[in-house]
Amino acid sequence: MKNNSKFAKAGSFAKKNIAAIIFILIAIICYSLSGMKPSYVIQQVLLRLGQNSFLVLALIIPIIAGMGLNFSITVGAMAAQIAIFFVTNWAYQTQSAVFSGFSGFLIALVMLIPLSLFFGFLAGKLLNKTKGQEMIAGMILGFFATGIYMFFFLIIIGTVIHIDNPFLIISGGVGVKNTFDITIASSLDNLFNRKLAVAGPYIMCLFILHFTRKINFKFFEGKKHGKLLSVIPFLAGAASMTAYMLAGEKPADFMIIFYYLGMAIAVLSIALSVYRIVKFKKEDLKISAVIAVAVCLAVIIFFQALEYVNPGSKAALDEIKAILKVRVPMSTYLAILGLCLFNTFILKTKIGQNLRTVGQSMSVATASGINVNKVRIYAIVLSTLFAGIGQLIYLQCIGSLQTYAAHNNIALYSVAALLVGGASVTKATNKQALFGIIIFHTILIVLPSAVGTVFEDAQNSEYFRAFMLYSVICFSLISYAVAAKKKKSKAADGPEQEKLPSEEQE
Amino acid sequence: MSSEPKKPKNSTLVEIKKVISNIGISRLIVALFFVFLLCMTAKQEVPGTISNVLTRIGMHGVLVLCMVPSIRSGLGPNFAVPFGILAGLLGGLIAVQFNMTGLGGFAVAVVCALIISFPMGLLFGYLMNRVKNSEMMVATYFGYAMVAIMCIGWLLLPFTNNAITWSMGKGLRNTINLEPYFGNALNNIGAITKSYNAGDTMMIPVGVLVIWLVVSIVLYWVFIRTRDIDLDNMKDEELAAYNKTRKERKKTGIISVALITVVCAVLAFADIGFLHGIRSALSVHITFKSNTSMEIPTGMLVFLVLCCFAMWLFNKSKTGISMAAAGSNPDCARASGININKQRMIGATMSIMLSAVGILVYAQSFGFLQLYNAPLNMCFPPIAAILIGGASIKQAKISHVLIGVVLFQGILTMGPTIAGRYLSGLGDGMDPTEIVRIIITNGIILYALTKAGGASSEE
Amino acid sequence: MGDAYVLQMKNIGKEYSGNPVLKGIDLKVKPGEIHALLGENGAGKSTLMNVLFGMPVIHNTGGYTGEICLDGEKVHISSPKHAMDLGIGMVHQEFMLIPGFAVYENLKLNREVTKPNAVSRVAGKSYESLDNGQMRADTKEALDKVGMDLDTDEMVGELPVGHMQFLEIAREIDKKGVRILVFDEPTAVLNETEASRLLESMKRLAGMGIAIIFITHRLQEVIDVCDTVTILRDGSLVTNCQVKDTDAVQLAEMMVGRNVSYSDISGRVDKFDDSDIVLEFRNFSVDMPGEQVKNIDLKVRRGEIIGIGGLAGQGKLGIPNGAMGLYPASGELLYEGKALPLNHTKKILEKGISFLSEDRKKIGLILSESIEDNMVFNAMQIKREYLFDFKLFSFRNNKKIAEFADQMIHEFDIRCVGRKQQVQNLSGGNQQKVCLAKALALNPKVLFVSEPTRGIDIGAKKLVLDKLKELSWNQGITIILVSSELMELRSICDRIVIVCGGKVADILSPREDDAKFGLAMAGTKAEKEAEKTS
């Protein structure tokens, strides 16, 4: 009986995450076909996780507000590109170091904020006028804004705004070049990064502490200050690990204590969980949390093992060394962590509750006195702002700006990544976003080689990629529409309102 | 809602405002832009522009027409045009594979395209019935996904003609030259070519046109237009009298418009000696600086007109009427015993089939079949065209197709010439008309969405 | 003090663009009292409550006359928010609940308890964290007050429908300082046990000193729980009285009674043969939201005008809509002794049964089409008339259409500038005439007519009713007339069926007493019969 229920639980877990599971399988198959080096794949995935996460996470709030996949994040990306263009221009013109590197990044950020708030406000206004068709309107808005954006960069600059900068402006003096190098390249990534050998276990320990947090809480439940006690291991672990990280590239010997202290707390947390599982049975444990902890543990052991194991063959040894040397842009990850925390935080506030209410039912929200249009604009403004920051992060990572193309596909790729992670048009979480990026980009990275192995022509991988992109979005839209139709026919069973006499008067 | 309608002081002004709001502000801007471009072009390359515009109207007309059944049956504009295009491309490839040439080749291609697109249309219709209220978004991505699948398909299809396949390696070519097959098959039927040598003078009766336009509008305004009258507070006799005079006025109006049209046509084109003076006074004279020629693709235009006529007939048929009813008021249609899903299916299938034919008309004039990602770019322009013509995402008529395709393609054709003249400073191969195209295409679709969205949020 | 009224509405009057809908209404409620507000549909109950809640619809149309006093103090209620602040609550008939939210979240919708945090100190109040613990506790308390034991964390979507009403009430109770609570037909959607539980919790609330205004159509409930009653009819006050001084029959009479001008139907009553049945409903049920029909048996005699009356939501609209296949129906429907295919509109129309819908704008007409197209639409689709019929491809026959349309425009005096005018530019009455012409274009043998006079002016009303009478008297068309206006039914029908709770409550002659109609509409007779059989 117990086995049965466990299987049922696992079954329903699989059913809920069917999309994610399918894509994991695709990723594994493609990877094994591609024959790529694991070090390259890991390096690329970690890089792209930093590049894209912010953009994908920016999609979550509009989904919660019931506005579906926000294809209009393109508008936010344009704001970022405008900011970067001007910062780069000032950097060339003033030759001042302020406009390059991290300070340049911050200036671009300051410029970006009002721009993207304004653009987001306009987009929100428009989407309020197209209720029920937000996604198609957002998509078309993205295209429309591209036209305006091109008008600005191709015609306004040089005719109305005169910029004399041969690095950026087409030789005729009107219009901005197709591509140029930006001065804030890698500014955020280089602020603070570590090799994987150090950063990997660190991140994994944080994950373990995070996943075991709830189990700890259960353990201390009922005791005095139970909640506080349960957070202590998390905080202590995180603090000591962070202390070690912040101690620099080559920390003093005694700092290693902090490293092991953090790890010890993580291990202790796991021990506590195991104790709890054994003692109190499994009822209130989430399978996903257990799996996550197990994976994290495995990764840590893997890292530790890599450091000491000598695999005999020279190639394998080199590969391991290469993996351990992969740089992890911790500062970018911290920014992403910040957005994740913000998304979680906002949902626990009054305004978050308003977002959720509007997302569930606009009519009930209106009836209970919530200004639906205002809440929806708020959602889009936030999303646009985060998309702008996301594009800033993306571009500083790429290092150059394709003036007229950089924003074109970001909505498409971000949406697809989110959906691959198991999100839908009506539901999305931070976890799904991050998970989706990892799986989606793993597939994108290995796809050309995998297709090359099968078709003897890696060029065709572009078509497979397009197919995956479009079909995942298409499938998700269809299942959403079908579900909405079912829901509508159910809701129609409600009692009909008695007409007011005033309505009958005409 | 408004229980007491305010009596406006200046009713003419209000009525003009109403006309503007009926036309739609964005549509008006596009139309004015068109006129502006027309004026700018007047002194330039007139014959070339005319043949270009006419050719592009013919090329895109059928693709725009395919929006009509889809909108009328309640699906909204057909965002899955690329899906239908795939069938057209397959039809064209089959004709090329068997080395069919000329009009026969085109006919075979069309027949094959229709046969292939029929089940595809049914599939699309089935899908659209499952996703009511999200038709546009699903159709867009369905179209994209299908084009992506076909990209893989083009790599695998067993065509053997060397014109289609790469000489080495797998798969089909990106573009297939139709010149040896059925390229220009339609265009060449009854094509009119007129050449001008350098130094020749051409008269364009712009003045006559303007006179005709102004007089017609005035006549319409005075005689034909239906006025706002207070039906309920009128006495019976008054209403009867009004209706009687109205009929007479309308008759007078139509007759006088017809008359002025004939007079203007005679003034503009008839070769009568004593009218020459007037005509020349009312015309713009152009002297050509170089040899140039004007080509009118009569066959293609006739084909477009025939298609429009067939669609018009269909709209007047029993099925057409029930389809429109199912689109504009599904509840009412259901109460009349009409199967809504079936009507939507018919609309979707017709639309997909027409888009398959449309791409063949396009390709025979363009001279190439474009495979792989090319169909993706064919998605939005036809939608924008019909919306500019006056359609909404819930209503469409044949006139909207014709007006829309003339305005939209006119702008796209004339734009580069003008821009080339005035914005020669631009470099890097960026075409400023591309910007105009993007803004107009998406702007008009957005505008239509906001108009429709307002209605749906009231429900 | 015995007569300290918490709410006094004195001499309330209200006009909508010149039409008085409320005339000199008085209403007084004491704390802890359950006060019934009775009246037919359109009697003015909703308008009175709109006045009480300061709804925008009142202020946008010129406000009201008379005065409202709360605890003896005169107030002018300017908005629903203001009403809420004054301690007036409303339990809606339709549920304003979110299925995907937990019970406590729904109860505290947009009234969440929050506590400040670091961010909110900088960014403002809307960033304060939710205090879920406090919200759960409040919820528990409010649920206890209405006598409901529920898990506060359960999803509302997973609760039985009967619980929803209690959540609505709990939400009102949870608002601080509620003095007056209005219940708008709360028992309409509940089954018997749920309804009696609800009445109990109403009593309990009244026991806590809250004044309750109870709008209902079920007279028995009034007798059972209410202390006082106000009856409205046609926007006027009939009476304020103590419930203990009256009984159900008297209440029914006061609700319905009015001077009916009987039309001349004498000499027609005997003409109908009880064995010559055109249409027979057997065990007929319709699943129409808000208008459920449950196992009805009814025989319609050839050539008669049979009226179907009853209050809104009792299922009278479900009968024609179900018969025409617009809403899923079950049971049997016999036409000329043969079973009709249910839920198959086309086949039913083909048999010569036509329908004039109550919703002319949504179902009756295609507003963007012309008068002539609307008129011949059904005939064209069903009978293939007005066509050049080439079987596979048939085109509209403009000439025939024009002839028919012009004839109808003349016959019905449709006020238009021509048959090509769009119907959306016509007034309600003229639209209704187009609908009638549309139904007649089918040459029906049986005609369902649903609310033919709703929202149209008096002249058009008379024309439509006269036309119906003429169709029946001169052309022998059997008419089933569904209307919520009893007067209208009594003026032209041969028999009147009163429907209550989805069942036939009574079949009455138009000349029957007012009280009988009133009781039948309130379902008292049906209930008594049910008691007898059980």
Query: Which among B261, B287, B313 is the end of a domain?
Result: B287
Tell me whether residue C470 is in a domain: yes
Under the banding of pLDDT at 50, 70 and 90, the label for residue B164 is confident
State the SS3 of C247-275: CHHHHHHHHHCCCCCCCCCCCCHHHCCCC
Is C345 domain-assigned?
A: yes
Return the percentage of chain B with pLDDT > 70, whole number: 89
Q: Give the list of residues 6+ apart from residue B5 with CB closer than 8 angstroms, or none.
A: none
CA-nearest of B277, B274, B291, B54 to B196 is B291
Q: Is residue C498 part of a domain?
A: yes
Rg of chain A taking only CA atoms, in angstroms:
25
Q: Do residue A348 and residue C129 have CB atoms under 8 angstroms apart?
A: yes
Query: Hey, are the CB atoms on C363 and B4 less than 8 Å from each other?
Result: no
Report the pLDDT averaged over residues C286-309. Answer: 86
Is B435 part of any domain? yes
**Residue A435 to residue C124: CA distance in whole angstroms:** 33
Q: Which of B236, B266, B287 is the last residue before a domain boundary? A: B287
Cα separation, B98 vs A300, whole angstroms: 64
A404 touches chain B (CB under 8 A): yes
User: What's residue B5's pLDDT?
Assistant: 42
Across the interface, whether the CB atoms of C112 and A356 are under 8 A apart is answered no
Return the residue of C nearest to B333 by Cα: C363
pLDDT of B115: 94
B120 and B172 co-located in one domain: yes
Residue C472 clears pLDDT 60, i.e. is over it:
yes
Residue B225 lies in a domain: yes
Question: Which chains lie within 8 Å of chain B at 3 or more CB pairs, if any?
Answer: A, C
Task: Verify that C46 and C127 share a domain, yes or no.
Answer: no
CA–CA min distance B444, chain A (Å): 9
For the segment C97-126, the average pLDDT, to the nearest whole number, is 83
Q: Which residues contact A373 (CB under 8 A, 6 or more apart)?
A: A128
Residues B132 and B171 reside in one and the same domain: yes
If DSSP codes are grouped into helix, strand and coil, which group holds residue C395? Answer: strand
Which amino acid is it at B36? Answer: F
CA distance B151 to chain A (A): 6
Whether residue B30 sits in one domain with residue B95:
yes
Which pLDDT score, from 0 to 100, does residue B121 have? 94
| Torsion angles phi and psi, residue C456, rounded to 5 | -125, 160
Average pLDDT rounded to a whole number, residues B272-276: 72
Look at residue C349 and tell me if it is in a domain: yes
Question: What's the pLDDT score for residue B424?
Answer: 56
Say whether both B283 and B297 belong to one domain.
no
Does C491 lie in the same domain as C436? yes
Closest CA–CA distance from residue A479 to any residue of chain B (Å): 8
Amino acid type, B275: L
Nearest partner of B249 among C417, C369, C373, judged by Cα: C417
CA distance A169 to A91: 14
* Tens digits of residue pLDDT in C80-107: 778 888 888 888 766 778 888 888 888 8
Name the architecture of domain A9-188+329-485.
Orthogonal Bundle (1.10)
Cβ atoms within 10 A of the Cβ of A215, count?
A: 24
**pLDDT-based confidence at residue B422 (cuts at 50, 70, 90):** low
Is C353 in a helix, a strand, or coil?
Answer: strand
- CB contacts, 8 Å: A351 with chain C: 126-127
In which domain, by residue range, is B275 found? Answer: 201-287
**CATH number, domain with residue B416:** 1.10.3470
Same-domain status, C254 and C380: no
Tell me whether strands C387-388 and C395-396 are parallel, antiparallel or unpaired: antiparallel
Say yes or no to pLDDT of B429 above 60: no
C491 shares a domain with C390: yes
Residues of chain A with pLDDT under 70: 1-10, 13, 213-230, 245-253, 255, 276-292, 300, 303-313, 456-459, 488-506
Residue span of the structural domain in which C21 resides: 1-87+178-258
Average pLDDT on C320-328 reads 88
Residues B209 and B143 in one domain: no
- Given the DSSP bridges, would you call strands B368-370 and B175-177 parallel, antiparallel or unpaired? antiparallel
Q: Are C312 and A498 within 8 A, CB to CB?
A: yes
Q: Please check whether residues B98 and B244 belong to one and the same domain.
A: no
Domain final residue, candidates C176, C207, C236: C176
Q: CATH number of the domain at C458, please.
A: 3.40.50.300
Same domain, B253 and B271: yes
Could B231 and C426 be called an inter-chain contact, meaning their C-beta atoms sit closer than 8 Å? yes
Instruction: Say what the pLDDT of residue B412 is.
Output: 83
Q: Which residues contact A5 (CB under 8 A, 6 or more apart)?
A: none
| Mean pLDDT, residues C255-266 | 57
Nearest CA in chain A to C317: A496
Query: What distance, in Å, lies between the first and last C-alpha atoms of chain B?
Result: 15
pLDDT mean over C375-399: 84
- Every domain of chain A and the residues it spans: 9-188+329-485, 194-327
C2 confidence band (pLDDT: 50, 70, 90): very low
Domain count of chain B? 2
Q: Pairing between strand B175-177 and C446-450?
A: unpaired
Burial category of B45 from C-beta neighbours within 10 Å (exposed 0-12, middle 13-18, buried 19 and up): middle
Residue B5 in any domain: the answer is no
Contacts of B246 in chain C (CB under 8 A): 417-418
From A503's Cα to the closest Cα of chain C, the distance in A is 9
B205 vs B279: CA distance, rounded Å = 7
Residue B340 placed within a domain: yes
Q: Given C258, C278, C306, which residue is the final one in a domain?
A: C258
Judged against a pLDDT cut of 60, whether residue C266 lies above it is answered with no
pLDDT for res B342: 92
- B14 falls in which pLDDT band (50, 70, 90)? confident
Residues B108 and B183 in one domain: yes
- In-domain check, residue B128: yes
Looking at the structure, do residues B27 and B148 belong to the same domain, yes or no? yes
Q: Do B52 and B170 sit in the same domain of this protein?
A: yes
pLDDT of C351 higher than 80: yes
Assess if residue C501 is contained within a domain.
yes
B206 and B183 part of one domain: no
Specify the number of domains making up chain C: 3
Same domain, C296 and C251: no
Residue B169 banded pLDDT, cuts 50, 70, 90: low
Residue C343 lies in a domain: yes
Whether the per-residue pLDDT at C37 is higher than 80: the answer is yes
Q: Where on the phi/psi map is residue C18: left (φ > 0), alpha (ψ -120 to 50), or beta?
A: left
Listed in sequence order, the DSSP H helices in C476-523 are 486-492, 514-521
Lowest-confidence pick of A267-276, A493-502, C482-491, C507-516: A493-502
Q: Which two tokens stand for residue B111?
A: 């027949």
Inform me whether the pLDDT recorded for B110 exceeds 90: yes
Answer yes or no: are the C-beta atoms of B416 and B48 closer than 8 Å.
no
Mean pLDDT within C478-500: 85
Q: Which of A264-278, B66-80, B239-253, B359-373 has the lowest mean pLDDT?
A: A264-278
Compute how many other C-beta atoms are within 10 angstroms of the C-beta atom of residue A496. 15
Are C453 and C387 in the same domain? yes
Residue C381 and residue C287 share a domain:
yes
Count other C-beta atoms under 10 Å from residue A461's C-beta: 21
Chain A residues within 8 A of B433 when measuring between CB atoms:
none
pLDDT, mean of residues B406-418: 81
A16-49: b (≥16 Cβ within 10 Å) or e: ebebbeebbebbeebbebbebeebebbbbbbbbb
Between B201 and C447, name the one with better pLDDT.
C447
**C312 plus C222 within the same structural domain:** no
Which of C119, C147, C176 is the last residue before a domain boundary? Answer: C176
pLDDT tens for C174-229 read 887 788 888 887 776 677 777 888 888 888 888 888 889 988 877 778 888 888 88
Sheet holding C495-500, edge to edge: C353-356, C446-450, C478-482, C305-309, C495-500, C503-508
Please, are residues A79 and A119 in contact by the beta-carbon 8 Å criterion?
A: yes
In this structure, the answer to whether residues C339 and C248 fall within a common structural domain is no
- Nearest chain C residue to A490 by CA distance is C289
At B44, the amino acid letter reads: Q
Per-residue pLDDT tens over the stretch B49-62? 888 888 999 999 99
Q: Looking at the domain assignment, is residue C228 inside a domain?
A: yes
**Which pLDDT score is estimated for B420?**
67
Torsion angle, alpha carbons of C509, C510, C512, C514, to 10: 140
pLDDT digit string, tens, across residues B217-226: 888 887 777 6
Is the pLDDT confidence value at C21 over 60? Answer: yes
In angstroms, the separation between the Cα of residue C449 and the nearest Cα of chain B is 13
Whether B1 is in a domain gets the answer no
> Hey, is the C-beta of A489 within 8 angstroms of any chain B C-beta?
no
Whole-number Å distance between alpha carbons of A366 and A499: 19
- Quick: pLDDT tens for C433-465: 898 898 888 888 899 998 888 777 777 788 888
Phi/psi of residue A156, nearest 5 degrees: -65, -45
- Residue A193's contacts (CB-CB under 8 Å, 6 or more residues apart) are A199, A327, A328, A329, A330, A331
Query: Given B287, B308, B333, which residue is the final one in a domain?
Result: B287
User: How far from C151 is each of C139, C144, C148, C159, C307, CA to CA, in Å?
Assistant: 10, 12, 10, 10, 48
Same domain, B153 and B275: no
